[in-house]
Amino acid sequence: MNFNQIKEKVIQYDLIIIERHANPDGDAMGSQLGLKAILKENYPKKKIYAVGDTSERFDFMGKTDEIDIELYKKALVFVLDTSTDEMLLNDNYKKAKFSIKIDHHNTVSDYCVLNYTDTSFESCAGIIAQIALDLDWKLNKEAATHLFTGIVTDSGRFRYDKTTARTFDIVSKLMEYDIDIDNVYSNLYQESLDSVKLRAKLTNKFKVSKHKVAYLKVTKKDVEAYGLTPHNIARGYVNIMANIKEIEVWAMFVEDAENNQILCEFRSSKHNINQIAVKYGGGGHLLASGAKVASFEVCREIIKDLNKLVAGSKKWRKQETKF
């Protein structure tokens, strides 16, 4: 896509609404609030809103806006960091006069009028930063901080495979705006004592198969005992199984009783687990994906598929999956 198409639409509309997926992570929040700050800096007379649910972990980034649903009928809507509209909180974007999707995940569906996906980027925030730089849009400290936060979180603190020279080139330009890195990292990664204790409990619960697949089941009873939301547990603790020599793929399955579903998070150090996520109606990245399924019985099938994936053959040694 020619980024000038995006600029032309921004100039055309006086009302702009920015959305992203529900249960936001750092990249969803960073790209959304970063784009809002950029547009406000460059088009101060336009009305620009960032909408959606929030997460306590990202409260330090600021709040989203509450707006009248009727505004969509006159608005340009951006939908960021969302591979399928099933991940959105609602379908309000369909009421927009014009819509633009910007994403870095493997495409599940092109649901907007204009769709831009680039899977070579480590984050959606990285794409937003690149767009701003290419269009010579002015940045400020607020925008740079939000975009930096999105890049840091979705690149795994610059460790994941999509981290490239371009990533550091973009970050170096953002750093010109006096980002308080210590404040960002403290808010993102400093843990409470309760969180550390929960991490220890979960570490003692996960199992590892003969094929180096680790998996962890968290039931409704566990969720209630831990005092966190299912999404916070699934996203926040899946990587307790990471960086372990004997584990190549790890998965967390968390019961979301309120919505009658199981939240699944998949991660790997070397295997394409996105294909497994897609098979079960989810998506994401090659090494980090997720899905929502109906029951723990389905999760048992997922574990079998993950074992097959790592073994590299459908004829993997049969073993009992205690789940």
What DSSP element (H or E) covers 244?
A: none
> How many residues are given for the chain?
323
In terms of Cβ atoms closer than 10 Å to its own Cβ (0-12, 13-18, 19+), residue 47 is middle
Residue with the larger pLDDT of the pair 282 and 169 = 169
CB-count exposure of residue 27 (10 Å: 0-12, 13-18, 19+): buried
Domains and CATH numbers, the chain: 3-188 (3.90.1640.10), 193-311 (3.10.310.30)
Q: Could you give the CA distance from residue 206 to residue 188 in angstroms, rounded to a whole number?
A: 25
pLDDT of residue 61: 96
pLDDT by residue (tens digit) across 63-100?
Answer: 999 999 999 999 999 999 999 998 899 999 999 999 99
Continuous segment of H or E residues that includes residue 253: strand 249-256
pLDDT, residue 227, reads 86
266, 267, 253, 257: which is closest to 297 by C-alpha?
Answer: 253
Residue-level pLDDT at 322: 60
**Using one digit for the tens of pLDDT, what is the confidence trace for 97-151?**
999 999 999 877 899 999 999 999 999 999 999 999 999 999 999 999 999 999 9
pLDDT band (50, 70, 90) for residue 323: low
H/E stretch holding 99: strand 98-103
Instruction: Determine the Cα–Cα distance for residues 122 and 152; give it in Å rounded to an integer.
Output: 9
pLDDT single digits (tens) 27-49: 999 999 999 999 999 999 999 99
| Predicted pLDDT of residue 321 | 55
Query: In the block, which residue shows the tokens 């819509």?
Result: 99
Tokens read off for 76: 């340009």
Our measurement of the distance from residue 260's CA atom to the centroid of its chain's CA atoms, rounded to an integer in Å, reads 22
Give residue 70's pLDDT: 96
